[in-house]
A = this chain, B = another copy of it.
């Protein structure tokens, strides 16, 4: 059979660009984008993306060039996900919450030729570009406003993963855009547009479920959560409102969610707390992904499927990144022996489901014992007076590290718990070595644009506390 070789008629990569072209044919007159008072159809979105790609080419953007965007969850972000690859260029999305220095480094490192900037962060980008070394070629800027007819091919995402964006075109669904996470707006958009599917980090689920005016939903809304292990109490409260939570796991390096907690029908008969415990697990590989395993990072051998033995999550499949740009050292560190090493610590349950115990760097090592910050956080979240919690390592001269808890209490409490109360609560529910040695009360926790707690900020605070106390 060796005379049968691939030919032009059967050698095509599967690209999401084809989803859009098909959506324009099949769902041409269905809504694609809803944002404020703007509504586009799939045929309009297709045409706008083609026009935008054509504009990119006309200003000199070529195959392999990098085009950046610094914007929140707005339609321009969606359109550029199609238009930039259409032009042959590479899209680089930059978080609006980064500082000017970091953005400057990212623009220089990626050799961006063009930067699309949301009008609300234009000053930040101008500052970032002013930090370029003198005599360096700087990228051209295109300011994006919500209602700017001057940039006809342009107008306007955040918590959506790349894969979700493209899947919307695959099924011809409507994207509802949000500049920022605002709970009352989210509830009103759900009702107004009959939202069926949404995404949100566990912290967003927590905000939705604790909203005082939250009423049970008129019809079920599927919500995909990822970014951190969702605490069981948060899952319980969210589902009691009528949300159907799916839990997924992935990294930027895997282009989004590649592991999900595939739900088994007979689990529906279990008690609610047991269901929440099962759903808090990251699960199994998604259908299009090749393989996921938990291994001893030293030997590369799979760990026991006992739900106890920790190891590092390793993955392989077509959507794993090629590598880090211009950083062979980091690339070869995580891409080895045919696997991508995630840096995340997990156990494998006897049923083959993965359960993350911690991001490697989030593990607290105290007196030689590994403490999972996620486990401690889960206990803090079960406290009736605690609204949000995050646990990080605090350097300790004796124990090397000890857990330090940051908590936000519920609003309008008549009696606030003390640091000692919280520690006592944990002591009754955790092994002694896992109990936080310090509890810091905060009005709010520092977060990324996607709602993930910025633990590095908390680690800095914990470290400085130690110095001031010593």
Binding site for B on A (CB under 8 A): 1-14, 18-19, 22, 25-30, 64, 90, 170, 262, 264-266, 284-285, 287-288, 290-291, 315-323, 325-326, 328, 335-340, 351-352
Contact = CB atoms under 8 A, between A and B. Distances in A.
A11 B4 CA distance: 22
Given A26-B284, A262-B26, A12 B90 contact: no
Given A287-B170, A317-B12, A320-B9, A352 B25 contact: yes
Contact of A5 (B2, B170, B288, B322): B322
A322 B22 contact: no
Contacts of A290: 12, 14, 18
Q: Is the interface of A mostly helix, strand, loop or mixed?
A: loop
Contact of A316 (B5, B9, B19, B287): B9
A194 to B, nearest CB: 13
A346 to B, nearest CB: 15
Given A1-B325, A287-B19, A340 B10 contact: yes
A143 to B, nearest CB: 27
23 contacts: A1-B90, A3-B326, A3-B328, A7-B338, A8-B337, A9-B316, A9-B335, A9-B336, A10-B316, A10-B319, A12-B290, A12-B291, A12-B316, A12-B318, A14-B318, A18-B290, A22-B285, A22-B287, A25-B352, A26-B264, A26-B284, A28-B351, A170-B287
A327 to B, nearest CB: 10
B316 A8 contact: yes
Copies held by the complex: 2
Contacts of A265: 30
A28 B285 CA distance: 15
B10 A322 contact: yes
B320 A10 contact: yes
A8 B331 CA distance: 13
A26 B288 CA distance: 14
